[in-house]
Amino acid sequence: MKAAEMAKSKYGDFDVVLIGPKVDCDLEVVEAEDAEDGHKKMVELLEKKQIGWLCNSTF
């Protein structure tokens, strides 16, 4: 999460969306109960074109 916050503040020309448990941060968070739920939500967001390219991290 720290790296995502740093990248957003340094470059600022893209949006960061975290998918996983609720966290206290200034980034957009899509809450997911577990990895399976997170994957499902990620696919939904991609299909709706609400997110584009993504970098995956360990849940």
Q: In a 3-state reduction of DSSP, which class is residue 28?
A: strand
Decide if 29 contacts 23 (C-beta within 8 A).
Answer: yes
Q: Where are the domains of the chain?
A: 2-47
Question: Residue 35 — very low, low, confident or very high, per pLDDT cuts 50/70/90?
Answer: very high
Phi, psi of 7 (to 5 degrees): -65, -45
Over 90: is that where the pLDDT of 2 sits? no
Dig out the tokens for 14 from the structure.
């893209």
Over 60: is that where the pLDDT of 34 sits? yes
Decide if 38 contacts 32 (C-beta within 8 A).
Answer: yes
Cβ atoms within 10 Å of 53's Cβ, excluding its own: 6
Question: Side chain identity at 22, as an amino acid letter?
Answer: K
